[in-house]
Amino acid sequence: MMSINHIKAAWIAYNVQSFCILSLLIQALLLLLAPFRKRTGSKILVVFVWSAYMAADWAPAFILNLIVNYSKTRHDKTELMSFWASCMLLHLGGSDHAIAFSLEDNDLWFRYAFTFVFMFLSSAYVFYLSFSQVNYLWIPNVLVFLAGVIKCYERARARFIGSMDKSITLSNPKYEDVVKRKASEEPHNFRAGEPDDVEVIQLAYTIFRAYKGVLVEHKFTFEEYGRIQQLLQNRTDLFAFRIAQAELEILHDVLYTKAQIFHESFGNSARSVYWVLLPAALASFSLLVRNNMQKQFDPFDVGLTYSLLIGGMFLDAIAFVVLLYSSTFTIATMSRATSRPITWVVKFLKALKWPRPRALWCWRPSLQQFNLITYGLNRPLKAWECIIDSLHLTNYLDEMIYVKNKSLSPILEAEILRQVEIRLNRHDWDCNLYASTFTKCTSKFPVSKELNKNEFLIVWHIVTEIFYNVVDVPEENIGSDSRELNKLRECSKSLSDYMVYILIFRPFFMPVPNKKKIEETNNKIKELLHEKKNSSQQEACQEIMKKAAEGRIPQESFLYEAFKVVNCLQTESPWCQDRVKCWEIIHKTWIAILFDAAKCSTPRAHAQYLVRGGEILSLIWLLGANCGSMAQFAFFEDSDEENQASNMARLESVYY
């Protein structure tokens, strides 16, 4: 049986090596998980990505501290220790696809740069200590050290570019020339067939370079806006949707990856040098170890060094392959000089007709689903709720446990495109449709006049649930309108659960969010459904209707308000016998709520929640901007109201 002294001795002998292996595994895990972050909104996956991201930043600093302490007290492994310290700079540089976890990380780019400077000095200090004896490995050490400096520079630069206060000032000053040139070209006949992937990405990038200024409230001129709109004069619904998807992909790459580095000549040159340094370091290390076997390097330490070098090169190769499928990588190589090594690779792959599956670059947003009825039925024990609430983890765990992910269906995708086209053709995109719909509903249905829009959303969610589970359960052979009815039911159900998710977990998207009132609503629903715990949704909705009909639900309750609306739709309204018409009313209300949330939310919210559940709203926001809405551009340089009015009329006459 091993004693404490044996464990302590093993720790002293191999603590640095163990954490070096751990750091390499963390880098591999981060590279594996980071691309999936934008493919799914799973909270569990986000937790793993966040953990890997934090560990990837912590491990190199911790290991370098161990190496410094070891090198100051012992001199038997200083050469390899110095080499490993340089490898930690590579790990600090991070994966190409996970430079930041949130926008706030980009805003703290200076703190990362400060950390890099200290690690740079510590690594240089360890390198200095390695010369207490003859250092046979100084050549590969210097090569890896330079490679680590390049990776850390790339990450600091990418964070600097991705920070909100710098994103517009660092945009390409010649993008307007690109827009002018593309707008003057002969219009493409997009209606002739499905648009080419590269064509979509190029045009999306051109538009993105202009529109990304909205994220920091950059002021546009009407001429700039008009030139962008000329690029989409012959648009189709499919093309507009593909453009918006590509813009979301580009926005993600700019904010959270190193893609922007490849738009800079120095960045391209530095990465080319980096690809040379690591193989050169591996070759020189192998040669020096063979020629200096009398040095008696520990075979385990030599194997670890090979693992760090080869593993780092392998991870970089995988990152490069993923980068080949990135939309921004295609853009970065469009206008580069043909002598660039990166461009040579791309042209070679294009000559081989290298496949680029659309699923790997085309953004596929998902609908996060949160249902208040399900939440009330599956509430945990009261004692457990009190413990979680005291730790301020209620919302976090609720999102992890109760929020489900649902892919954006082709039916709902087509419906969103249809609604965008309808609103643009009617010129009512910029109107407050939700306020108008809210006013109509409060006047037509017997709901309290004291309800605000957020409270009405909760009531309408319950109405949708009762209609979906009790009033209008689908039957076989329900007539020729069955397809339209099922489409309205499923779309309304999906939008209902999604908008409640946005209201509770992403309130920045909603107009006038009232978090306290929402929490009170959740608690009240959970209390009312406590007796029906672990029942099905259908049974719970039946119980709500039964209690409301018997007068056992307080009249100020949202459940009672929902009961009154359902009863009106079911028995008193002019459409009570027309099931399709009733679902059209429900569906149109949710569409109005969805579009209003997309239009009224702040631009920063679209960037901040891009990979945290707000993709649908961002997609609608971009569709409106691409197709001619002026709502996103509330600030123009021209302060003359008469000039603004004349310019607006001129734009509408051209683009509508």
Q: How far apart are CA 289 and CA 80, in angstroms?
A: 11
Q: Is residue 477 assigned to a domain?
A: yes
For residue 149, the model assigns a pLDDT of: 92
The stretches in the chain having pLDDT less than 50 are: 168-193, 335-339, 359-360, 477, 631, 633-656
Q: Is residue 316 assigned to a domain?
A: no
Q: How far apart are CA 463 and CA 590, in angstroms?
A: 12
> Three-class SS string for 444-473?
HCCCCCCCCHHHHHHHHHHHHHHHHHHHCC
Q: How far apart are CA 406 and CA 416, in angstroms?
A: 16
> Three-class SS string for 47-90?
HHHHHHHHHHHHHHHHHHHHHHHHHHHCCCCHHHHHHHHHHHHH
Reported as a single tens digit per residue, the pLDDT across 344-396 is 655 555 555 555 555 445 566 778 888 888 887 777 777 777 887 777 777 77
Q: Is residue 59 assigned to a domain?
A: no
Residue 435 structural domain: 366-600
Number of folded domains that form the chain: 1
Reported as a single tens digit per residue, the pLDDT across 479-527 is 555 777 788 888 889 999 999 888 888 877 775 555 665 666 666 666 6
Interior angle at CA 337, CA 332 and CA 341, nearest 5 = 75
State the burial class of residue 613 (Cβ atoms within 10 Å of its Cβ: 0-12, 13-18, 19+).
buried
State the burial class of residue 275 (Cβ atoms within 10 Å of its Cβ: 0-12, 13-18, 19+).
middle
Find the helix or strand (DSSP H, E) in which 382 lies.
helix 382-390
Q: Is residue 415 assigned to a domain?
A: yes
Q: String of b and e for 104-127 (b: at least 16 CB within 10 Å)?
A: ebbbebeebbebbeebbebbebbb
Q: Is residue 11 assigned to a domain?
A: no
pTM for this prediction: 0.79
Q: Is residue 358 assigned to a domain?
A: no
For residue 21, the model assigns a pLDDT of: 92
* 302's tokens: 């030599």
Residue type, 89: L
If we measure between CA atoms, which residue out of 32, 39, 36, 38 comes closest to residue 56? 32
DSSP string, 101-120: SSHHHHHTHHHHHHHHHHHH
In angstroms, the first-to-last Cα distance of the chain is 82
Q: Is residue 578 assigned to a domain?
A: yes
Reported as a single tens digit per residue, the pLDDT across 581-598 is 888 888 888 888 888 888
| Residues 6 or more apart whose Cβ sits within 8 Å of residue 477 | none
For residue 337, the model assigns a pLDDT of: 42
For residue 190, the model assigns a pLDDT of: 37
Q: Is residue 259 assigned to a domain?
A: no
